[in-house]
């Protein structure tokens, strides 16, 4: 495959879609442990919720026709028949006209009642007489037995990212063991003679490992299980053996560094040797991140990511995250913030660019300010709130032009 015969992001995603069909298995996990996991299948309610008619206010359960026309000047006089106890079925029913029962918020509506008068619109004359000075309509201040959730309703769809509110729904249905998608195992390999671990003090010409930890934490954030295979020096045999082990043990493999065409760049050779079809593409029309490789070995995706941290981060977000979401059957909807661009910015035509920006609120308007940094630096991401995506067919952005800023992290 010829390097620099670059493909657009859309073309790359088409290649990913047509080559990888990875079906992850289901596992059942405890309700308390399912935050940030992906639901494997639709959850269909086996009951109505709340399951009984309940009051949504503190007040008095009545028949609406008994308080029709009630006002402060001519209140309706009601006979108090007792009160509803929370968590229990009412011991009495409203059998005759003019009867009422006190009911707390969440209490079960007694038989014969069809509505609740808020306590603010009542006065208590004595222990058995209540004056109602405002009418109610049938069903007012009452939650029907299936008004929250209906029997047979699909309350959560497969692919839902489980968060506190959806977990509370599972709890209300009595689901203690939750069917979730098994986490895809993502192997991470960093390469380069110049890379040392964070605990080491780098000598002249060396840098601490950034990409391994960037990728490791990103995979966790995206619902995967990262497996770190260490920093491998620019040694062909060692890298080949490590990559072969990662392919056997993981669902996806990420190799950071060595994806360009320098003398010591081994990633492309390694991917082609590991198995057919090998490299699917080498080079993407994106800035930063052009020297990116996507390969296929044993039906598994293997990425050669740029060694420069900012490039690595961009390609991960645009392509690797896209692949993981397809595997997990997640459809993430992004809601970018519309902003004015702070300055004129020129870019080369022909490459889609992901430009880190900060956001400031100036006189009620959001202003996107570019964070200008080279692809070898990670500071562009750490300083930025998000990024602006600039289409490959344009030559830049004008000052005060409307742009959309996407947040880097969830």
Least confident of 32-41, 107-116, 371-380: 371-380
Averaged pLDDT of the chain: 92
Alpha helix stretches (DSSP H) within 234-290: 236-249, 267-274
Pairing of strands 352-362, 402-407: unpaired
Burial class for 72, CB neighbours closer than 10 Å (0-12, 13-18, 19+): exposed
Averaged pLDDT for residues 329-343:
90
Please tell me whether the overall predicted TM-score, pTM, comes out greater than 0.85 for this model.
no
CA R_g for the chain:
31
Give the whole-angstrom CA distance, residue 108 versus residue 111.
9
Contacts for 121-126 with beta carbons within 8 Å, 24 or more apart? 121/59, 122/59, 122/60, 123/75, 125/77
pLDDT for 358 beyond 80: yes
Give the whole-angstrom CA distance, residue 48 versus residue 108.
15
DSSP code of 333? P
For 88, phi and psi rounded to 5 degrees?
-130, 155
Q: Which residue reads 């000052």 in tokens?
A: 399
Domains, the chain, with CATH or none: 9-24+183-328 (3.40.980.10), 33-49+147-181 (3.90.105.10), 54-131 (2.170.190.11), 337-407 (2.40.340.10)
pLDDT for 257 beyond 80: yes
Least confident of 168-182, 318-332, 379-393: 379-393
pLDDT for 50 beyond 80: yes
Dihedral over Cα of 280, 283, 286, 289: its sign: positive
For 118, phi and psi rounded to 5 degrees?
-60, 145
Binned at pLDDT 50, 70 and 90, residue 22 comes out as confident
pLDDT for 263 beyond 80: no
What lies within 8 Å, CB to CB, of 338 at 6+ separation is 366, 402, 403, 404, 405
Structure tokens at 186: 């993502």
């Amino acid at each position: 495959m010829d390097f620099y015969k670059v493909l657009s992001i859309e073309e790359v995603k088409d290649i990913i879609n047509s080559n990888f069909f990875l079906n992850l298995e289901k596992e059942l996990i405890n309700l308390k442990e399912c935050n940030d996991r992906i639901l494997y299948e639709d959850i269909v309610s086996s009951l109505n919720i709340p399951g009984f008619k309940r009051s949504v206010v503190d007040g008095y359960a009545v028949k609406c026709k008994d308080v029709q026309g009630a006002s402060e000047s001519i209140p309706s006089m009601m006979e108090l028949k007792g009160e509803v106890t929370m968590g229990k079925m009412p011991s009495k029913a409203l059998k005759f006209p003019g009867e009422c029962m006190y009911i707390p918020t969440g209490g079960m509506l007694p038989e014969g009642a069809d509505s609740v008068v808020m306590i603010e619109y009542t006065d208590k004359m004595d222990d058995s007489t209540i004056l109602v000075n405002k009418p109610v309509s049938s069903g007012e201040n009452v939650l029907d037995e299936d008004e929250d959730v209906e029997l047979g309703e699909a309350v959560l769809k497969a692919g839902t990212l489980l968060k506190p509110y959806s977990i509370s729904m599972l709890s209300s249905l009595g689901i203690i063991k939750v069917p979730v998608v098994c986490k895809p195992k993502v192997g991470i390999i960093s390469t380069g003679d110049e890379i040392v671990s964070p605990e080491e003090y780098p000598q002249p010409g060396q840098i601490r490992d950034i990409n391994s930890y960037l990728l490791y934490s990103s995979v966790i954030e995206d619902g995967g299980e990262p497996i770190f295979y260490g920093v491998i020096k620019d040694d062909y045999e060692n890298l080949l053996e490590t990559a072969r082990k990662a392919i056997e043990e993981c669902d996806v493999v990420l190799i950071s560094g060595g994806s360009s065409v320098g003398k010591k760049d081994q990633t492309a050779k390694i991917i082609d040797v590991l198995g057919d079809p090998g490299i699917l593409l080498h080079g993407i029309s994106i800035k930063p991140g052009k020297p990116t490789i996507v390969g296929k070995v044993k039906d598994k995706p293997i990425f050669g990511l740029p060694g420069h941290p900012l490039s690595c981060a961009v390609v991960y977000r645009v392509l690797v995250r896209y692949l993981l979401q397809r595997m997990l059957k997640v459809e993430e909807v992004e809601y970018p913030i519309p902003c004015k661009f702070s300055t004129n910015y020129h870019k080369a035509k022909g490459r889609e660019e992901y430009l880190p920006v900060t956001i400031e609120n100036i006189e009620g308007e959001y202003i996107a300010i570019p964070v200008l940094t080279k692809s070898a630096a990670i500071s562009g991401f750490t300083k930025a709130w998000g990024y602006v995506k600039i289409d490959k067919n344009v030559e830049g952005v004008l000052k005060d032009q409307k742009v959309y800023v996407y947040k880097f992290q969830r």
